[in-house]
C-alpha cells in the first residue's frame, strides 16, 4: 500500500473513450438510454452526439485512486458530483490531491476533466494507505 502526504498530487489518469465505448458500457451496465447508444436520437434532443455514461466517468475516478494506492481493496469510499457531459473520442483526465491522512486512511479530492469541462467535480475518495 502506498504512503502519502497531505497536499501530494497522485498520478494523473488519462484515458480516451473510443467511439464504441458507450455501446459496450450499455451492455455491461444495463443502461440502454438512447442518449448513450443512438447518435441520431442524442442529436435530436440537443446533444452533440452520444454522451458518456456518468457511471463510466465515475469509474475512471475510482480507477485513478486504486491504481495509485495499489489495488481495488484500498478504496473504502467514493462520492462524486456529476456536473458535466462527457463525449466520445476526447481524452478524460482524472487529477487527485491528498487532503489529509489519519490512522493510515487518506482522504483524496479528485475531479475528471474533458478539455475545459469538469465532468466529475468534488469527488472525495477514502483510501487505506498504510
- Percentage of the chain beyond pLDDT 70 is 98
| For the chain, the helix, strand and coil percentages under 3-state DSSP, each to the nearest 5 | 30, 35, 35
Residue-wise pLDDT tens digits, 68-113: 999 999 999 999 999 999 999 999 999 999 999 999 999 999 999 9
- Percentage of the chain beyond pLDDT 90 is 93
User: How far does CA 110 lie from the centroid of its chain?
Assistant: 9
* pLDDT band at 130; cut points 50, 70, 90: confident
Residue-wise pLDDT tens digits, 1-17: 566 899 999 999 999 99
36 burial (CB, 10 Å; 0-12 / 13-18 / 19+) is buried
Q: What ranges do the domains of the chain cover?
A: 13-128
Q: What is the pLDDT of residue 2?
A: 65
Average pLDDT value for the chain:
95
Q: How far apart are CA 82 and CA 95, in angstroms?
A: 15
In whole angstroms, how far apart are CA 69 and each of 72, 79, 125, 129?
Answer: 8, 17, 11, 7
Q: Identify any residues that bridge with 109 across adjacent strands, giving them in sequence order.
A: 97, 124
Q: What is the CATH number of domain 13-128?
A: 3.10.129.10
Amino acid at each position: 500500500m502506498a504512503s502519502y502526504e497531505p497536499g501530494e498530487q497522485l498520478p494523473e489518469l488519462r484515458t480516451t473513450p473510443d467511439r464504441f465505448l458507450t455501446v459496450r458500457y450499455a451492455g455491461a451496465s444495463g443502461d440502454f438510454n438512447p442518449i448513450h447508444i443512438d447518435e441520431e436520437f442524442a442529436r435530436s434532443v440537443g446533444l452533440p452526439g452520444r454522451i458518456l455514461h456518468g457511471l463510466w466517468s465515475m469509474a475512471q475516478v475510482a480507477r485513478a485512486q486504486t491504481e495509485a494506492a495499489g489495488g481495488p481493496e484500498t478504496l473504502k469510499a467514493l462520492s462524486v458530483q456529476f456536473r458535466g457531459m462527457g463525449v466520445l473520442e476526447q481524452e478524460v483526465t482524472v487529477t487527485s490531491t491528498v487532503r489529509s491522512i489519519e490512522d493510515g486512511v487518506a482522504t483524496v479530492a479528485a475531479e475528471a476533466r474533458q478539455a475545459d469541462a469538469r465532468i466529475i467535480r468534488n469527488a472525495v475518495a477514502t483510501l487505506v494507505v498504510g
